[in-house]
Structure 1
Amino acid sequence: MKNEEFSGEFPEEGSPEEKSLEEGFLEEGEEFSELIKYTIPGYILGLLAGIFLDVQGYQRSPVGQWLVRTFAGEGESIFEGIFSIRQRLRKAEGSMAEAYGWGKFLGIAFPWIIDLGSRLAGVNVYGVEGFYIPYFYALSDQIGANISGLLFLKRREGSWRAGFSGYVHHPVMLASFFVIVLVPLGLLGARILGFSPTTQTFTALETIAANLCWVPPLVGWLNEKYR
């Protein structure tokens, strides 16, 4: 696929350029099936950590919440980062899955900063105003993956215009975008209705519910399986 094909306007619907772009996505070897299996271990570790800390009497421990949310919200990012490192060490050809994994891995520390800063600023992390904290634990890596995927498309296609065109044609990127936009609305609604993570188990469950990072890789896997 030549980059100059996308140096002008976006491809028109039904045009040869649009069909060529779609075929390019279907033909590339994106290993999203490798990423799906990393989500459940993070959920399990987060939930087990929450139950253990509750039993030990650390229901509202800030360090405990950090640990539980890191496992439940970002556990899969650690494994996906390992996948990306393994791909790089194998010197495999760069793929969207690898770029996606790198983006998630590099976004791990961002929610730690937000959590600590919010507590130091006096935000009630158990109230409605603290709804964004589990959001960033669950999806900051997803935001990083989305940005990394867009940069990958821009680099592959040769221009921002072509990269954005590829973005809106890519099912994984679109699924990621909708997850990023819709999850905070759900978290805010739950807090308004009275939910509060007053135990570590509740903290784990809230983060697991928000951590829909498995949705975009599932879309990618289905695209691989049924294309």
Structure 2
Amino acid sequence: MNRFDDAEIAAVYKAIAERRDMRHFLPDPIDAALLERVLQAAHMAPSVGFMQPWRFIRITDAALRLKMHALVDQERIHTAHALGEREDAFMRLKVEGIRDCGELLVVALMDRRDAHIFGRRTLPEMDLCSVSCAIQNMWLAARAEGIGMGWVSLFDPEALRQLLHIPADAKPLAILCLGHVEAFYPRPMLELEGWAKRQRLHDLVSENAWVEAHPVVTDQPLEGKHDA
């Protein structure tokens, strides 16, 4: 049979259910073999036309890490201003662990992507979808290994591209904080902080035609929550 056994199936669903976007890390280093396994999981992801558009940059220079943190902090302030009434609530959130995590990685789209037409002629953004699959693979493998991972998207991609000497036709998509954690959040951190609630699956599934979901409220206060 092609089916996994019950214990293997349960482990897959457990990793999916308990994956968290982590922001709090311990400074302990990650074993090189473990990092290799997690990256290999990313590299096993599906990609449109088998183009494998993911590129990974491991950040080991402490000064470079601080420069990246400065870029993120700058965008954090811009994002807060753009949120209007929720600015103060947003500024109380911990949105990254760049200075604390054991490993810091940047994931970028490859250069010369225009040469890949298979599956992208009408949907050129499928290269981005492919990289997202790689990151999700990495996230699930890290969770199974007991390692926390956080995806940081608060940065100016052009500024980060120049900082890391990424080719002009490539694009950084994610800063990934990877490291040991004291504990995983029992629920997504933004849910715990009252920023948003998980929507009901029933409201997001329709049959044969689009059915409008219930409106999502995005301006509720954080009820005095603060960083842990």
TM-score, normalisation: structure 2: 0.27
TM-score, normalisation: structure 1: 0.27
